[in-house]
Structure 1
Amino acid sequence: MIISDAEQDLTVPTTPPPLAGLVDEYLRMLQNERGSSEHTLRAYRRELMDFAVYLAERHAAIVSADQIEHLHIRTYLGLLLERGLSKASTARALAAIRSWFKWLARTAHVQQNVASLVATPRLPKHLPRVPSIEQMNRVMDTVDDDAASWPSRDKAILELLYGCGIRNAELTGLNLNDIHWANEAILVRGKGQKQRLVPLGDAAAQALRAYLGERAARLNAKSEAKFGTKGPATPALFVSLQLRGLGKPGGEARLTTRSVGRIVKRLAILRGLSADVHPHTLRHAFGTHLLEEGADLRAIQELLGHERLSTTQRYTQLTTSQLEAVYDRTHPRAR
């Protein structure tokens, strides 16, 4: 019996599978050495424990990682597809298993990385639907009371997501001291706790200043009403409207990624954009519009914080006419 996203009703075995210890050891390495996020750790734990449970129930004779063959992995992936998982979800499961086996080989738990012999399911290529520059300007310029619960904050959120191209989790993780006004940049903590400085444009800086004034007033009023003192009380840059949890141990009133998703979707729909718009759509638009306006792909890669240029290429789109225009303008044999 496999525990998967498609089978939430299944229960976890009362006794851990034989390979659970190696899974836990690998996850500790990800957390301590690579600084992986809680989201990544949860996803890897789910995928790897599902695989370990599958081996324990379907191949009980396997009690060590070195006994696993590539056919076991291939059969497991086939079973996931039979259970209704998409090819994308199956590919993510394989990616987790491959990463685990890479570590197993490096730490001499296995002699051969058999996961490298398993092909990734062929995935359909879907380009994200990116709003035009005109559509984005319309949304950014019309954040007001009819569409936003806290207009200055929500406008600043949009300006940073689209104007800086940062991820949702990077946005909600920002603190006040991450804004480097003198350098006109923000310090962003990306995947694996990697840091990068991203330019802060004039529109984003203006929106941030307007929001920070209101933020300070709200926090002072809350602190004075509850504790009789004034002060910022939280390092979080973006805080929730009700400032829930403020004053409690560990309470920062920090806005969550889910709340940011709701804010972006509401503003986008009310301004005529597609209902499938989410914070990452603005990141796609950031890269695509930079490329359309002539930015170098390597520069966009640095701004987005991608390790591989191929990832940046997936985040950006050019129409056939744009490609033809670039060809006609630059290739010596085109004229």
Structure 2
Amino acid sequence: MDITAFLQYLEFEKRFSENTLAAYTKDMEQFSLFLSEHYGAEAPDQVTHRHIRAFMVDLLGKGNSPKTVNRKLSTLRAFFRFLARRGQVSIDPTLKVTGPKTPKRLPGAIRQEELERLFGEVDFPSGFEGSRDRLLLEVLYATGIRRAELIGLKVADVDLAAGHLLIRGKGRKERLVPISRQLADQVQAYLSEREGLPPMTAHLFLTGKGKEMYPKLAYNIVKRYLSLVSSSEQMGPHALRHSFATHLAENGAELNAIKELLGHASLASTQIYTHNTIARLKEVYQQAHPKAESEDMHHK
């Protein structure tokens, strides 16, 4: 199955990131292999909804989660829509396919008090790497930036005088996110430490050898420090993005403002944080309201 034109469309017209392109490529190659091995079908116009359902059943049988299967189905939907627009298939076989149900799971957030301990009580090592680690954590929590966006930040993207970061998000969309005076001062102090290295890149966050930060290092830094203050299941950079949005919502920020700060394309992606806030309010109520305990006992 030739997917070259489809991938070029995603890259040059939809402007998908390298990571997203890699995921779409893997999904399509996996589906093509499944068709070839089980049905001997390779041309897209030979594919029916039964082939796609069989592919999904096969994925679930191999231990893939419903969320993963739905993501792969989304890839196939995009592929067949693309072919239908070009007149290469007369019927979109994905239209008769429904994805497996996924359990609704609220995004995990680190508690405010735990983050206060992280930034107020944890000792960060002196020198460049300690300064970098603290700033990396501060920027993730203060801006809600994604890991890939953080790694892509250049020194020139930080406007200390204006107090904001220029973030390049998904689909190459740019957004300005404000930073506090305190965080701007931390960036300035970090840049002074950074001058002691021979930087080989204009990126803001560097490895100890002066090279561009890479995803696994960013994840390991965040996990190492969060594990000192929290027992949350989610310990990576995305947990701090969720924390940023959840704490804004809990403290009364408008949903549209959170949407813009996160760089979400639609409000639907942001609305999950209203559910998070309600869950947190229920928890506070159970702990603090005089009637909560007696009502709990009544329902037992």
TM over 0.5: yes
Equivalent of residue 208 in structure 2, options 241, 264, 272: 241
Per the alignment, residue 202 of structure 1 pairs with: 181
Q: Which amino acid letter does the alignment assign opposite residue 148 of structure 2? A: A
RMSD of aligned alpha carbons: 2.2
How far is the alpha carbon of 1:201 from its aligned partner? 2.1
Q: Residues 25 and 294 of structure 1: is their aligned pair in 2 closer, same or farther, counting only changes over 3 Å?
A: same
Contact 1:147 1:267 in 2 (8 A): no
Contact 2:115 2:229 in 1 (8 A): no
How far is the alpha carbon of 1:87 from its aligned partner? 1.4
Equivalent of residue 308 in structure 1, options 262, 266, 272: 266
Per the alignment, residue 34 of structure 1 pairs with: 14
Question: Where in structure 2 are the equivalents of 1:155-234 lying within 5 Å?
Answer: 155-219=134-198, 233-234=200-201
How far is the alpha carbon of 1:320 from its aligned partner? 4.7
Q: Which amino acid letter does the alignment assign opposite residue 146 of structure 2? A: R
Equivalent of residue 278 in structure 1, options 236, 243, 263: 236
Aligned length: 283
3-state SS in 1 of match to 2:227: helix
Matched, 1:295 2:253: yes
How far is the alpha carbon of 1:116 from its aligned partner? 2.7
How far is the alpha carbon of 1:323 from its aligned partner? 7.3
Q: Residues 93 and 49 of structure 1: is their aligned pair in 2 closer, same or farther, counting only changes over 3 Å?
A: same
Query: What CA distance in whole angstroms lies between the structure 1 residues aligned with 2:273 and 2:281?
Result: 16
How far is the alpha carbon of 1:321 from its aligned partner? 6.8
Question: Where in structure 2 are the equivalents of 1:94-113 lying within 5 Å?
Answer: 94-113=73-92
Which stretch shifts more, 274-283 or 262-271?
Answer: 274-283
Query: What CA distance in whole angstroms lies between the structure 2 residues aligned with 1:111 and 1:199?
Result: 49
How far is the alpha carbon of 1:218 from its aligned partner? 2.2
Matched, 1:65 2:44: yes
Percent identity reads: 39
Q: Residues 63 and 109 of structure 1: is their aligned pair in 2 closer, same or farther, counting only changes over 3 Å?
A: same
Any stretches of 5+ residues in structure 2 without a counterpart?
A: 285-300
Query: What CA distance in whole angstroms lies between the structure 1 residues aligned with 2:186 and 2:231?
Result: 22
3-state SS in 2 of match to 1:188: strand
Per the alignment, residue 68 of structure 2 pairs with: 89
3-state SS in 1 of match to 2:165: strand
Runs of 4+ in 1 over 6 A off after TM superposition: none
Query: What CA distance in whole angstroms lies between the structure 2 residues aligned with 1:184 and 1:105?
Result: 47
Query: What CA distance in whole angstroms lies between the structure 1 residues aligned with 2:127 and 2:246?
Result: 26
Q: TM-score, normalised by structure 1?
A: 0.79
Q: TM-score, normalised by structure 2?
A: 0.88
How far is the alpha carbon of 1:206 from its aligned partner? 2.1
Contact 1:165 1:303 in 2 (8 A): yes
Per the alignment, residue 120 of structure 1 pairs with: 99
Equivalent of residue 130 in structure 2, options 151, 155, 177: 151
3-state SS in 2 of match to 1:84: coil
Q: Residues 147 and 110 of structure 1: is their aligned pair in 2 closer, same or farther, counting only changes over 3 Å?
A: farther
Cα offsets for 1:68-123 (capped at 9, x unmatched): 11111111101111122221221111111111112111222112222132112100
